[in-house]
């Protein structure tokens, strides 16, 4: 039996209300003066390779890449094709005044892509040394195209001595502010979604408290980053994460900080470790639009998928993180998964975004310069929805999960008196103004 409901722009409806949300967390509200967010979607481990040289060489050979540079070329071309020119550039401090940046960073900068600098001390030098200050200043000045610098990564989980993290941050923060006064600074990301009672959340709040009370230049940081890895995304978990972390920041005078998620992903297959259970390509493609939409609806400005191409970690044992790409590295190496198509459709639509809000369960409206765009699906069988507050004469309705032939056939629907009625299924659809 089909059910019908009407969606008024930014309105809560009695017949199909969205679940409760935190207070105003519109993506546009978080950007300076409502400046559109050019791209919502990117990749954190864009050129992720096995860590050991032998494994990396075997991977490149199996994928048909003649060299690491050829691999980087393909990654950059695919980022452009997907309309996702955002990436995280990994830069480790290895001591004695030396940083070790990923080779792809220079390539991304040369291509005028939006790469941000991720600075993390290698475990043996978490306490830093006397040469660090001059080296960091030189690093920032040497990369004028990098406008965001992130200090640390998952100190609640990955640092050998977590207690050293606030000292690292407070030493680096003023140096970056001085070397690039208009750059933004991101706090190293918390390792996953946690409730306030968890050990990780309490440890991280200790970091935030020490940093907020410490000696820093200007705002302690401009961006809060949380990572999110689950078998499947949960709307309630993401809403709770936003509420929990915003409350934590407010307790330390940091309300209004922007929110990013620089690590997330949805795996395919049944990886050996950790074992969460099997997931199909269809599952990945179906859940990706939900993940991005739910995040945007609670004010997350940028969402970085862990990696573009599957890879096998050190030791040759595939794990969950190795299976989160959109392109296979096993089975049929180089073959795009269904979510590759999904990602491209969604990323192209979510450009120049000024706001996002869940207007009903399973329906998220994005405000863009091109007009409103909707990501919509049904959690309870086939139904119909009427989308309102439209200005153009017609919209394009396109499934976001490819069919068995890899196609996503789009249809046009006429807008009548500012509204259009569409059918919804379990697989999300994208509704955009028709050209």
* Cross-strand bridge partners of residue 121: 93
- Three-class SS state of 10: coil
Q: Do both 327 and 400 map to the same domain?
A: no
Asked, for residue 8, whether it belongs to a domain, the answer is: no
Asked, for residue 7, whether it belongs to a domain, the answer is: no
Asked, for residue 17, whether it belongs to a domain, the answer is: no
pLDDT value of position 248 = 96
What is the CATH number for 295? 3.20.20.80
Q: Burial, 405: exposed, middle or buried (Cβ in 10 Å; 0-12, 13-18, 19+)?
A: exposed
Q: Of 300, 320, 354, which one is at a domain's C-terminal end?
A: 354
pLDDT value of position 79 = 96
Asked, for residue 14, whether it belongs to a domain, the answer is: no
Q: Burial, 381: exposed, middle or buried (Cβ in 10 Å; 0-12, 13-18, 19+)?
A: exposed
Identify the CA nearest to 292 among candidates 336, 346, 250.
346
Q: Do both 230 and 266 map to the same domain?
A: yes
pLDDT value of position 387 = 96
**Angstrom distance (rounded) from CA 332 to CA 75:** 18
DSSP alpha helices (H): ranges in 85-198?
Answer: 104-110, 132-142, 165-179
Q: Model-level pTM? A: 0.92
* Cross-strand bridge partners of residue 95: 98
Asked, for residue 410, whether it belongs to a domain, the answer is: yes
Q: Do both 142 and 166 map to the same domain?
A: yes
Instruction: Strands of 70-113 (E only): list them.
Output: 86-95, 98-101
pLDDT value of position 18 = 52
Q: Do both 158 and 298 map to the same domain?
A: yes
Q: Of 322, 354, 386, which one is at a domain's C-terminal end?
A: 354
Place of tokens 């976001």: 400
pLDDT value of position 314 = 52
Asked, for residue 398, whether it belongs to a domain, the answer is: yes
Q: Of 354, 378, 398, which one is at a domain's C-terminal end?
A: 354
**Would you write out the chain's pLDDT as a tens digit for each of its 435 residues?**
433 333 333 222 223 445 444 443 443 343 443 578 999 999 998 887 887 888 889 899 999 999 999 999 999 999 999 999 999 999 999 999 999 999 999 999 999 999 999 999 998 899 999 999 999 999 999 999 999 999 999 999 999 999 999 999 999 999 999 999 999 999 999 998 788 889 999 999 999 999 999 999 999 999 999 999 999 999 999 999 999 999 999 999 999 999 999 999 999 999 887 778 999 999 999 999 999 999 999 999 999 999 999 987 755 567 888 899 999 988 899 999 999 999 999 999 999 999 999 999 999 999 999 999 999 999 999 999 999 999 999 999 999 999 999 999 999 999 999 999 999 999 999 999 998
**Angstrom distance (rounded) from CA 287 to CA 265:** 10
pLDDT value of position 15 = 31
pLDDT value of position 16 = 41
Q: Do both 289 and 396 map to the same domain?
A: no
Q: Do both 323 and 376 map to the same domain?
A: no
> In sequence order, what are the residues at sequence separation of 6 or more whose Cβ sits closer than 8 angstroms to the Cβ of residue 214?
166, 170, 220
- Three-class SS state of 88: strand
Q: Do both 292 and 388 map to the same domain?
A: no
Q: Do both 36 and 96 map to the same domain?
A: yes
pLDDT value of position 317 = 62
The domain of 198 spans 22-354
Asked if residues 353 and 367 have their Cβ atoms less than 8 Å apart, the reply is: yes
First to last CA, the chain: 33
Asked, for residue 291, whether it belongs to a domain, the answer is: yes
76 token code pair:
């950059």
Asked if residues 357 and 9 have their Cβ atoms less than 8 Å apart, the reply is: no
pLDDT value of position 316 = 59
Q: Do both 65 and 200 map to the same domain?
A: yes
Q: Do both 414 and 330 map to the same domain?
A: no
Q: Do both 110 and 238 map to the same domain?
A: yes
Q: How many domains are contained in the chain?
A: 2
């Amino acid at each position: 039996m089909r059910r019908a409901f009407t969606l008024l722009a930014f309105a809560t409806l009695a017949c199909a209300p969205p679940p409760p949300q935190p207070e105003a967390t519109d993506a546009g509200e978080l950007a300076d003066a409502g400046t559109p967010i050019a791209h919502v979607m990117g990749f954190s481990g864009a050129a992720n390779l096995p860590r050991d040289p032998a494994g990396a060489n075997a991977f490149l050979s199996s994928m048909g890449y003649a060299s690491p540079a050829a691999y980087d070329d393909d990654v950059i071309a695919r980022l452009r094709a997907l309309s996702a020119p955002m990436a995280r550039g990994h830069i480790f401090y290895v001591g004695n005044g030396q940083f070790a940046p990923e080779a792809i960073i220079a390539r991304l900068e040369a291509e005028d892509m939006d790469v941000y600098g991720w600075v993390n001390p290698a475990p043996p030098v978490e306490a830093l040394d006397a040469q660090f200050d001059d080296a960091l200043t030189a690093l920032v000045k040497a990369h004028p195209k990098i406008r965001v610098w992130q200090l640390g990564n998952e100190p609640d989980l990955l640092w050998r001595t977590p207690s050293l993290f606030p000292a690292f941050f407070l030493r680096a923060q003023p140096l970056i502010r001085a070397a690039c006064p208009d750059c933004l600074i991101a706090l190293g990301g918390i390792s996953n979604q946690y409730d306030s009672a968890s050990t990780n959340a309490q440890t991280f709040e200790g970091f935030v408290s020490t940093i907020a009370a410490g000696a820093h230049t200007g705002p302690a940081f401009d961006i809060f980053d949380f990572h999110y890895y689950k078998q499947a995304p949960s709307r309630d978990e993401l809403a709770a994460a936003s509420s929990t972390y915003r409350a934590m920041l407010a307790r330390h005078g940091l309300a209004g900080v922007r929110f990013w998620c620089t690590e997330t992903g949805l795996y395919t297959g049944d990886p050996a470790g950790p074992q969460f259970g099997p997931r199909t390509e269809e599952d990945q493609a179906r859940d990706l639009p939900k993940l991005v939409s739910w995040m945007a609806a609670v004010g997350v400005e940028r969402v970085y998928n862990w990696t573009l191409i599957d890879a096998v970690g050190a030791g040759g044992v595939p794990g969950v993180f190795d299976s989160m790409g959109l392109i296979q590295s096993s089975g049929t190496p180089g073959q795009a998964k269904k979510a590759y198509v999904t990602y491209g459709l969604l990323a192209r639509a979510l450009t120049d975004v000024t706001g996002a809000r869940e207007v009903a369960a399973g329906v998220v409206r994005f405000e863009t310069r091109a007009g409103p765009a909707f990501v919509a699906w049904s959690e309870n069988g086939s139904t119909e929805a009427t989308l309102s507050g439209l200005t153009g004469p017609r919209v394009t309705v396109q499934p976001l999960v490819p069919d068995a032939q890899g196609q996503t056939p789009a249809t046009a629907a006429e807008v009548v008196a500012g509204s259009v009625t569409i059918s919804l299924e379990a697989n999300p659809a994208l509704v955009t103004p028709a050209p």
